Amino acid sequence: MNVVDLLLKLLSFESLTPDDAGSLKFIEEYLDDYEAIYVNKEGVKNLMLSKKFSDGPHLCFAGHVDVVPAGDGWETNPFVPVIKEGNIYARGAQDMKSGVAAFVQACKESEDFEGTLSVLLTSDEEGEGKYGTAVMLQHLKEIDFLPDYCIVAEPTCETVFGDAIKIGRRGSINGYLTLNGKQGHAAYPEKAINPVHQIAPILDKIAGVDLDEGDDDFAPSKMVITDIRAGMEVTNVTPGALKMMFNVRNSTKTTQEEVKLHIAQCFDGLDYSLELTQGSYPYVTKRDSKIVQKLTSSIKKLTGLETKLSTAGGTSDARFMGAFGIDVVEFGVINDTIHAPNERTSIKEVEALCAVFKDTVKHFNEGSI
């Protein structure tokens, strides 16, 4: 079985979050000389497959086998992969069974490594992820088996294969603010306190405002208002309260405390309440880390490209790796149809991704970085 055959097989599993649909058992049997550890919780399955070749660093490949629902608009059955004009169409083709197939095949074909190779897979990344990769990592920490380095094979490329890897991700702070006023008749504004009027002059201090200047790794942490509502959808009643929601994709330079302080300065003297939650925390792997250097070297060797080191985009399970102190990067196929109808990737990309992973494994311990 080659990497394309493997991908076609994985795409045939209807593994809607958090159901792996038997795909993890199949991968376990495919890598039959790797030792398996399962950590399952609340219907979520997590699998670690590892093989110690010799003493040396522990290099892990990680990803998820679950996919989002297909939705409408498909020209073919989303769980019966179809090859057309060099492309493979199916749900999960880009996100991220192509990456899983590439690193599983790379591990299958790697006959030697100075250290330990492993594969970490979960059936819940597309959902809340509460019982997914983080649960497995906690177990690995308890048994002293955390990887030293990790490649998460999420789709990272932008326009051509090899043009971008992720060396970090921004965090996500969610804000829920209530501005209290005093309800009254619109004809007697002097008898009411209108929270809409109160927030109007404040908006230019919060809407789209950068909370830090950014740095070489991260764009500025920007405050993005996602919802504002007040009133009862009538014209003759002044609203008694206004509710606003916002999000800050934060770098390592901005925390909840900075957000709270900015809001306090802007709403000084007003009657408001604020709740902040942290959906994920930012992380960044140093550019001179061995995993960054070795992966970019393999990409350049096989594609000729100087790959961009990015921290843009949403979030992924790499954030959990970063939180456990693991040097982690993300690299996969082009990201342009994920979660969309007729999701697809190309055969050339999948084969190239597998080749990059094999080359990274082969040369990982050459030289000193």
CB 361 within 8 Å of CB 113: yes
User: Out of 3.40.1390.10, 3.30.230.80, 3.30.70.360, 3.40.640.10, which CATH number does the structure's domain 179-279 have?
Assistant: 3.30.70.360
User: 62 by DSSP, 3-state: which?
Assistant: strand
Known catalytic residue: 5? no
One DSSP character per residue, 162-209 reads TSEEESEE--EEEEEEEEE-B-EETT-GGGSB-HHHHHGGGHHHHTT-
Task: Sketch the domain layout of the chain as residue ranges.
Answer: 3-169+282-362, 179-279
Catalytic: which of 124, 125, 343, 349? Answer: 125
Quick one: pLDDT at residue 336?
Answer: 96
pLDDT single digits (tens) 280-310: 889 999 999 999 999 999 999 999 999 999 9
Residue 189: other Cβ atoms inside 10 A: 12
CA distance 110 to 218: 35
Q: Which helix (H) or strand (E) holds 265?
A: helix 256-266
- Closest alpha carbon to 17 in 101, 95, 134: 95
Half-sphere exposure of 228 (CA within 13 A, CB side): 12
pLDDT tens for each residue of the chain, 369 residues long:
999 999 999 999 999 999 999 999 999 999 999 999 999 999 999 999 999 999 999 999 999 999 999 999 999 999 999 999 999 999 999 999 999 999 999 999 999 999 999 999 999 999 988 999 999 999 999 999 999 999 999 999 999 999 999 999 999 999 999 999 999 999 999 999 999 999 999 999 999 999 999 999 999 999 999 999 999 999 999 999 999 999 999 999 999 999 999 999 999 999 999 999 998 889 999 999 999 999 999 999 999 999 999 998 888 999 999 999 999 999 999 999 999 999 999 999 999 999 999 999 999 998 754
Known catalytic residue: 95? no
| Core vs surface per residue 242-256: b (16+ CB within 10 A) or e | bebebbbbbbbbbbe
Catalytic: which of 19, 66, 95, 126? Answer: 66
Under CATH, which number does the domain 3-169+282-362 receive?
A: 3.40.630.10
Q: What residues contact residue 344 under an 8 Å CB cut-off, 6+ apart?
A: 87, 88, 89, 90, 93, 94, 337
pLDDT single digits (tens) 302-331: 999 999 999 988 889 999 999 999 999 999
